[in-house]
Amino acid sequence: MTNIRLSFVRVCTLIVVTMLGLGASFGIYAQTVFPAKSIRLVVPFTPGGVTDTSARLIAEYMSKKLDQQIIVENKPGASGNIGAAQVAAAEPDGYTLLLGFDGTMVINPHVFANIPFDTLKDFRPVGKIGDAILILVAYPGFKAQTLQEIIELSKQPGATVNFGSSGIGSPQHVAVELLNQRTGSKLIHIPYKGGGQAMIDVQGGTIPLVYTAVAGAYPHIMSGRITAIAVSSEKRAPSLPNVPTFIESGISDFIVNSWVGIFAPSRTPTAVIQRLNSVLNEVLSDTEVIARLQKLGISATPGTPAAFGDAVKKHLDEYGQIIRSAGIKLE
């Protein structure tokens, strides 16, 4: 009887060890074999913008390291909601990914009355690509040419100090609403359908101020057609070393960047997420990629999926508070 019991124990032990081995092998298999075909990277905006350009840059370099093509597909509409919803509903196998940015992932859920996805439940973070530095610029003939002068002018009785952004609920819009809340300034939002026309209008003096990404403003600053007031990053922009930060301009702890990153559908296997994150981090550590991203006004930020996920949760909460206080809503 004792021998039978010992044999039974040995058999059970063998089964458990075999199953553990198969599980480990499957994890290794998933990491080494994936991807076995091309990957779709959905950009929920039209071609040509910073999100689209950064997506194509990252796709180019990741494709080389994965030995499979990453195909960028533009699915614009509803401030990124349409493309994001398509990825949320896609097969969670790692072959359909989303190029997400803060406007879509952490601002839209608070701005839109009805949104077809849940940022935390419907997606798994793969990794953050980088932070896009934002800047406040002015018409050169505007009488206020520093951040403090602009804030004080907006507080004067009867004063109307407008600023343009790429639209209602854009990261730039939310950032200036935060500035109003923090300083008591009364800057008035003029929404545009994209940043291009806003940039044209500030150069002509139609509006005095625009809050935008450094990449779009840079050539106009260098030509003297607009004046750089301040950047809202922690440190000065490498491309504009003479332009102060909001912090240096007297607004303590005012750090607001826009960001871009890659997301996958929520049930994508961890091994696949890790494989994609590892390759993304390799790409973001490449000096050539870093330089090319900097030309787009983006600072590369390699890191883990968990760290990116924590940042997304934090921004969802922070932006929600700002948006509710400012009463920003879209139908």
Region 22-45: mean pLDDT is 73
Start-to-end Cα distance in the chain: 75
Answer with the residue of higher pLDDT: 171 or 97: 97
Contacts of 244 (CB under 8 A, 6+ apart): 147, 230, 231, 236
Question: In degrees to the nearest 10, what's the CA dihedral of 278, 280, 286, 291?
Answer: -160
Q: No. of H helices and E strands in the chain?
A: 13, 11
Q: Which has the closest alpha carbon to 129: 265, 253, 311, 267?
A: 311
DSSP class of residue 105 equals: I
DSSP class of residue 261 equals: E
Fold of 134-231: D-Maltodextrin-Binding Protein; domain 2 (3.40.190)
**Total-model pTM:** 0.83
Instruction: Quote the CA–CA distance of 34 and 271 in Å, as a whole number.
Output: 9
Q: 331 falls in which pLDDT band (50, 70, 90)?
A: low
Q: Supply the pLDDT for residue 50.
A: 83
Residues in the chain: 331
Instruction: Quote the CA–CA distance of 163 and 165 in Å, as a whole number.
Output: 7
Q: Supply the pLDDT for residue 223.
A: 96
Q: Supply the pLDDT for residue 11.
A: 43
Q: 32 falls in which pLDDT band (50, 70, 90)?
A: low
Q: Supply the pLDDT for residue 2.
A: 46
Q: Tell me what percent of the residues of the chain surpass a pLDDT of 90.
A: 76
Measured over the CA atoms of residue 95, residue 100, residue 104 and residue 106, the dihedral's sign is positive
Average pLDDT of the residues of the chain: 89
Contact 187, 163 (CB under 8 A): yes
- 141-152 tens-digit pLDDT: 999 999 999 999
CATH code for the domain defined by 38-130+258-326 = 3.40.190.150
- 59-88 tens-digit pLDDT: 999 999 999 999 999 999 888 999 999 999
Q: Supply the pLDDT for residue 215.
A: 84
Residue 24 has pLDDT above 50, yes or no: no
Q: Supply the pLDDT for residue 233.
A: 92
What is the three-state SS of 67-100? CCCEEEEECCCHHHHHHHHHHHCCCCCCCEEEEE
Answer with the residue of higher pLDDT: 25 or 298: 298
Could you state, in order of their start, the residue ranges of all structural domains in the chain? 38-130+258-326, 134-231
- 256-285 tens-digit pLDDT: 989 999 999 999 999 999 999 999 999 999
Q: 15 falls in which pLDDT band (50, 70, 90)?
A: very low
| CA dist 312 → 91, 183, 245, 282, 319 (Å) | 23, 26, 24, 22, 10
Q: How many Cα atoms are found within 13 Å in the side-chain-facing hemisphere of 240?
A: 31
Residue 29 has pLDDT above 70, yes or no: no
Instruction: Quote the CA–CA distance of 203 and 140 in Å, as a whole number.
Output: 8
Q: Supply the pLDDT for residue 239.
A: 87
Q: Supply the pLDDT for residue 330.
A: 80
Domains 38-130+258-326 and 134-231 share a fold: yes
- 195-247 tens-digit pLDDT: 788 999 999 999 999 999 898 899 999 999 999 999 999 999 988 999 999 99
Q: Supply the pLDDT for residue 247.
A: 97
